[in-house]
Amino acid sequence: MAEPTLFERIAARDIPAEILYEDDRIIAFPDIAPKAPVHLLVVPKTARYANVVELAAGAPQLLADMVEVARHLAREHADGDFRLLF
């Protein structure tokens, strides 16, 4: 069995993080090495998808929900402005 990913360990609370959003499939928190004044990570709680292409093909609603979470957090933390990087 593969070792849990860093993000899975954050979701499991094995690694501390300031959780800004969480539901049963998505977790969001600030990056520990921000590259912008507001740099948040919105990630699925599963490591099933290796990249955004696999996520879009295998769970398009999850990807759409992650974008919606990013939009919500941008309104809350950055006057609504945001960009997504995958």
- Sorted by where each begins, the domain ranges of the chain are 6-77
Is domain 6-77 classified as CATH 3.30.365.10? no
d(CA 18, CA 31): 9
* Widest Cα–Cα separation across the chain: 42
Q: How far apart are the C-alpha atoms of 75 and 5, rounded to whole Å?
A: 29
Total-model pTM: 0.91
14-72 pLDDT, tens per residue? 999 999 999 999 999 999 999 999 999 999 999 999 999 999 999 999 999 999 999 99
